[in-house]
Amino acid sequence: MAASTAAARGARAPARTAGHRWHRLDRTVSPYLYLSPFFVVFGVFGLFPMLYTGYVSFTAWRADRPGSEGQWVGLENYRKLLDDPFFWNAVKNTLGIGVLATVPQLLLALGLAHLLNYRMRGRTLMRLGVLLPNVTSVAAVTLIFVQLFGRDFGMVNWFLSLFGVDHIDWQAGTLSSWSAIAAIVTWRWTGYNALLYLAAMQSVPFELYEAAALDGASRWRQFRSITIPMLRPTILFTVIVSTIGALQLFGEPMLFSQQQDPTTGGSQHQFQTLALYSYNQFWGRFKYGYGAAISWAMFLLIVLVAVVNFLAARRMRGAE
Amino acid sequence: MPVSLPRTGPRGRLLATSALLVLALTAVTSCSSSGGSSSADEDPNAKVTLTVNLFSDFGYADLYKEYEQAHPNVTIKENRADMGAHHQNLHAHLLAGSGTADIEAIEIGQVAGFQPEAGKFLNFLDNGVSKDQWVPSKTAPASSPDGKVLFGLGTDMGGMALCYRSDLFQAAGLPTDREAVAALMKDWPSYLAAGKQFLANSPNKDARWFDSGGNLFSAILAQAPQGVYDADGKVVVTSNPAVKQSFDLVAGAIKDGESAGIQAFTPAWDTGFQKSQFATVACPAWMSYEFKANPPTDGGKWDIARIPGGGGNWGGSYLSVPKSGKHTKAAAELAKWLTAPEQEARLFKEKGYFPSDQALWTQPDIAEHTDPLFNNAPTGKIFSQSARDLNPQPLGAHGAEIGTALGNALTSVEQGKADPDGAWKQALKDVDNIVN
Amino acid sequence: MTTPALPRRRRAKSTRQLTAGRGVYVVLGVAVLLSLFPLYWTLVAASRSNTEIHRMPPVLLPGGRLWHNITQVFAQTDLRLAMVNSLIVATTVTVSVVLTSTLGGFAFAKLRFRGRGPLLASVVATMMVPTQLGIIPLYIMMANWFHWADHLQALIVPAAANAFGLFFMRQYLIGAVPDELLDAGRMDGCTTRGLVWHVVLPAARPAMSVLGMLTFMAAWNDFYWPKVVMTQQNPTVQLTLSELASGYIKDYSLVLTGALVASAPVLVAFLLMGRQIIDGIMQGATKG
């Protein structure tokens, strides 16, 4: 802030020319000054570690093997990754849970937003109600859901038993554990996304609906051919943001696990996500180099999925 | 702590111990100038908060209070994590050189993994401790390979027994008397056969024979001469037939529906005790806290008998003082006090943790101790016998993690996720990932 | 994302606002119920004993042990230290993020300077980078270089500014501060700092409070990085919660009491400021 203080002091100076110079300096320097905190923090704690991770991923560094730091192995870690069944299993789990956690969530949010858009009493209360789960923490929510999804005494199984469904061991199965974790994510984020959609819906001009109604379009037809297309930018945004979030799932699968080692993600790794696997390798097995390679692979996967989402959305637009 | 204390009864020994403690303390402070570590300059009366990181309940709460009363400048704070996370964190924090607590517990299955890092711990041999307090099989794993550093003070050991619900046994027509139970279940196949009988005849259809396959597997394998490591430190999961045999035995029992399939050390396990979801548990001495904390809500009673197969050790721990801690001297004093014979004896009599301190095994108040929690069973006799019978298995760096992987495989059989063969193959892949 | 930033109130009038029928109320009621139930049930569990909450069929009404359980949780865990730590971290991070975001957002929204486009693009791009990507070096930096591991600054400094906040404030300030006002200020001889003080900060206040709430909640709820860099000797609330789950206390009524107590501050803040938060999220949405 020193420079801007100096600039301010200069501005008050009587000499016009000096004032002018200060003003010019102020206008050229201030923007960078204001942006510097972010870029300094990001540079030191974001960009640098990220690049350093890239470097580490090319080394054989294991914290429990002295001298392995900086031992260059080229692409060896990545080659090992391709042959690692646990890595591919984690990719599968991450994508699977990702789909289960985002698709129903966003569809539900869309429907919810549509309903919230009606004129009604207690509007704010309803909105508060659906948003409330979003402010609770991953750790608290997962603890709660572990209990709700308990095999013998869980509320969910009790509820299902009313309909004659046998007790489900939610942690045991691939699909069941994915669903339970997806349910945690969905519960926390549906309301938030619904509010985003609601905001976008409210910016759709009423005249469009009036015209469509005059043409005899049904409500459903109006929803499909007016609301959805008008919401496309928001939908694209939420799809990308939720996908990125889902691909980074860590706390939910970790705390959902009831194994001795929670980083294994279930008895058969059935819900070990990429974030969990990289943590397992880095923190539990001290494989810094290999863990770094997993982190980068995970980042590439995120970028890939985001690009695919983006292109798919563009094609959707092209098709119409 | 020298073990050659005159055994003159509790009070005399306490005095002698305190005197020695004071001596040790003054000896330590008088040469503090030569010590390089910053904590060597500590004022022994300065206020300190000692942090103690454990991975389960060690039953220390009352002892802390007593220690704090005797040392008004000391405040003790205990933290606990689950076993896997606790040791992972300790490793990582040792490597990083920060983040360790003043006292860190280490479990025997994990201790070999810390041998290469023996230099990062306080050497108790330089701090007035004699190895003679324990049997060599307890001190060797917590020493540097050359034996010059002792970085862990033995706390308890996991002599094994079989805990059983006598009320459920009676209802199912099984014997309830300890000797009769032990006679009926001399080995594991006869134990599992009795389980089938129990399942067929028990009126309580919610109760299974044992809690979890992983637990039973740990108990069975603990009796083999070799576990997952051989004496040269090689992983022998595939070449040691005892591993696969134990695995298959348990997997078969799971297939027969004998397992309640409840993961040990989880909240569901506690609930299982309370809700009588299983009739037997292979129980090392340290598991007593679990029984104490979770009495059956239906008023059922636990009893305790000799373990099928006889002998074996499962678990037991050490206390260590990492050099990166803030108050290493004060921590060492506390660790020594907690593992001193008086406290060890108290922990057994009050909480059930069987001492690894060998002199105590013959001490009458230990050897003849009976436990009201288990229908006044002679737990002193059972556990000291099992401790004397112990044939220690070779240990290795990743023993506990490999055990967890094999336990997970059995869990997947319980969950119906995998058949025994598939689960075994999966476990081998896990082992490979752990070792390499 | 590309919707023009019209003032919301005026726009709302011209949108379709059908009056809700009974069906809408019913469906929304169920949705709200589903949203609230897990939290309600946590309250039920926190006010009962472990055996009571493992009854079948389950108990659905609160019991009388809430206070007992709360004192137990505080007696048996470090929740008090954890809450103080979390409060310090979340507050510091919030103040810092709101300030840096407002200044930076203002620069992006209203100031012309070389490299604005690429810099803005880079800010947006960084929102895609997962925390995990830098975690290993970040931990090494904290533990071995700065010796900050297990100290609160290890949580505060890396979180002191973030891309989301910057972008959020930029989007808001584009519409909230008219260019004419800035030009007039310049004519009067205001420096940039003067403009920030007299024009930008007053205009940005509503968005700042929303960003503040969102940042506070995110900082309070953060799990992954604290899990790596902090220890149980100096925990945050989320760490203590995760320890609760892993064997420290296996009495589930106490575990859920912990979850309740740990969530209480954010829940209270949410109930007090819920309306502004909703508005903030919705405004951010249409301008994003």
Amino acid at B7: R
The minimum CA-CA distance between C95 and chain A, rounded to whole Å, is 13
Section B228-251 average pLDDT: 94
d(CA C24, CA B127): 75
**Greater model confidence, A284 or B319:** B319
Residue B331 predicted with pLDDT over 90: yes
Section C217-239 average pLDDT: 90
d(CA C253, CA A50): 41
Cβ pair B412:A263 closer than 8 A: no
In chain B, residues with a C-beta closer than 8 Å to the C-beta of A286 are 91-92, 95
- Supply the pLDDT for residue B165: 97
- Supply the pLDDT for residue A319: 55
- Supply the pLDDT for residue A13: 44
d(CA C37, CA A183): 14
Cβ pair C20:A115 closer than 8 A: yes
B236's enclosing H/E stretch is none
Share of chain B above pLDDT 70, in %: 90
For residue C231, give the nearest of B82, B97, B99 by CB distance.
B99
For residue B429, give the nearest of A85, A152, A261 by CB distance.
A85
Contacts of B34 (CB under 8 A, 6+ apart): none
- Supply the pLDDT for residue A3: 43
Q: How far is CA A27 from CA A21, A30, C116, C170, in A?
A: 10, 6, 14, 18
User: Is the Cβ of B404 closer than 8 Å to some Cβ of chain A?
Assistant: yes
**Greater model confidence, C201 or B310:** C201
CB neighbour burial string for B119-135, b if at least 16 within 10 angstroms, e if fewer: ebbbbbbebbbebebbb
Section B29-36 average pLDDT: 34
Q: Is the dihedral of CA C98, C99, C104, C110 positive or negative?
A: positive
d(CA B217, CA B161): 14
- Supply the pLDDT for residue C190: 84
Amino acid at B258: E
pTM: 0.85
pLDDT, one tens digit per residue, over A154-180 is 999 999 999 999 989 999 999 999 999
User: Is the Cβ of C80 closer than 8 Å to some Cβ of chain A?
Assistant: no
Share of chain A above pLDDT 90, in %: 52
d(CA B158, CA B160): 6
**Greater model confidence, B20 or B218:** B218
Pick the closest to residue A235 from A156, A317, A167, A160 (CA basis).
A317
CB neighbour burial string for B4-32, b if at least 16 within 10 angstroms, e if fewer: ebeeeeeeebeeebeebbeebbeebbeee
Strand pairing report for B302-305 and B313-320: unpaired
Strand partners, B235: B229
pLDDT, one tens digit per residue, over C8-59 is 444 444 455 677 788 899 999 999 999 999 999 999 999 999 888 888 788 8
CB C56 within 8 A of CB A153: yes
Mean pLDDT over each residue of chain A, to the nearest integer: 87
Candidate from A248-262, B116-130, B273-287, C95-109 with smallest mean pLDDT: A248-262
Question: SS3 for B50?
Answer: strand
What ipTM score was computed for the predicted complex, to two decimals? 0.84
CB neighbour burial string for C253-288, b if at least 16 within 10 angstroms, e if fewer: bbbbbbbbbbbebbbebbeebbeebbbbbbbbbbbb
Confidence of residue A4 (pLDDT cuts 50, 70, 90): very low
Pick the closest to residue A196 from C275, B396, B48, C1 (CA basis).
C1
Amino acid at B272: G
Residue B36 predicted with pLDDT over 50: no
Task: Bin B128: left if φ > 0, else alpha if -120 < ψ < 50, else beta.
Answer: left
Contacts of A17 (CB under 8 A, 6+ apart): none
- Supply the pLDDT for residue B386: 83
- Supply the pLDDT for residue C244: 78
The minimum CA-CA distance between A304 and chain C, rounded to whole Å, is 11
Residue C203 predicted with pLDDT over 60: yes
d(CA B63, CA B337): 9
Chains with ≥3 CB–CB distances under 8 Å to A: B, C
Confidence of residue B435 (pLDDT cuts 50, 70, 90): confident
Strand pairing report for B74-80 and B153-165: unpaired
Confidence of residue B289 (pLDDT cuts 50, 70, 90): confident
Residue B27 predicted with pLDDT over 60: no
Q: How many CB atoms neighbour CB A88 within 10 A? A: 12
Strand partners, B165: B302
CB B124 within 8 A of CB B147: no
Section C246-258 average pLDDT: 79
C128's enclosing H/E stretch is none
Question: SS3 for B230?
Answer: coil
Confidence of residue B33 (pLDDT cuts 50, 70, 90): very low
Cβ pair C281:A141 closer than 8 A: no
- Supply the pLDDT for residue C56: 78
The minimum CA-CA distance between A172 and chain B, rounded to whole Å, is 5
d(CA A221, CA A224): 5
**Mutation target among B98, B277, B287 for the C interface, most CBs of C within 10 A:** B98
Pick the closest to residue B90 from C78, A250, A284, A290 (CA basis).
A284
- Supply the pLDDT for residue C177: 86
d(CA C211, CA B424): 52
In chain A, residues with a C-beta closer than 8 Å to the C-beta of C3 are 200, 203, 233-234
- Supply the pLDDT for residue A103: 95
- Supply the pLDDT for residue C7: 40
d(CA B157, CA B355): 6
Confidence of residue A318 (pLDDT cuts 50, 70, 90): low
- Supply the pLDDT for residue C2: 36
Q: How far apart, in Å, do the first and last CA atoms of chain A sit?
A: 52
d(CA B53, CA B60): 12
- Supply the pLDDT for residue C140: 87
Share of chain C above pLDDT 90, in %: 38
Section B247-273 average pLDDT: 92
pLDDT, one tens digit per residue, over B344-402 is 999 999 999 999 988 899 999 999 999 999 999 999 998 988 888 788 899 988 888 89
Confidence of residue C217 (pLDDT cuts 50, 70, 90): confident
CB neighbour burial string for B74-108, b if at least 16 within 10 angstroms, e if fewer: bebbbbbbbbbbbbbbbbbbbbbebbbbbbbbbbb
Q: How many CB pairs under 8 A join A and C?
A: 333
pLDDT, one tens digit per residue, over A185-208 is 999 999 999 998 998 888 888 888
